[in-house]
């Protein structure tokens, strides 16, 4: 009995994980439903200053408050 076409491929999962990391998820969790639906979850990185300018701006704003 032949198998049917794959519902998802490894490259689909790899692309989904890379996209989740690019969106700011630290450790993405991937779930694949029986129908081939890929669900991504995980914890987001803490929002904070990312550049030296952002750090400086946060300090200036903190002083003025």
pTM above 0.75, yes or no: no
Give the alpha-carbon dihedral of 48, 54, 59, 65, to 10 degrees. -80
List the structure tokens of 27: 């450790």
pLDDT band at 21 (very low <50, low <70, confident <90, very high): confident
Of 46, 11, 12, 10, give the one whose Cα is nearest residue 26: 46
Residue-wise pLDDT for 44-54, tens only, equals 655 555 788 88
15 touches 34 (CB < 8 A): no
Residue-wise pLDDT for 25-61, tens only, equals 878 888 888 888 888 887 765 555 578 888 888 888 8
Residue 26 is predicted with a pLDDT of 79
47 touches 55 (CB < 8 A): no
Domain ranges of the chain: 10-64
DSSP single-letter state for residue 35: T
């Amino acid at each position: 009995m032949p198998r049917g076409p794959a519902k998802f491929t490894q490259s689909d999962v790899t692309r989904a994980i890379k996209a989740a990391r690019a969106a700011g998820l630290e450790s993405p969790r991937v779930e694949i439903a029986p129908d081939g639906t890929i669900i991504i979850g995980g914890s987001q990185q803490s929002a904070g200053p990312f550049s030296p300018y952002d750090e400086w701006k946060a300090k200036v704003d903190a002083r003025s408050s």
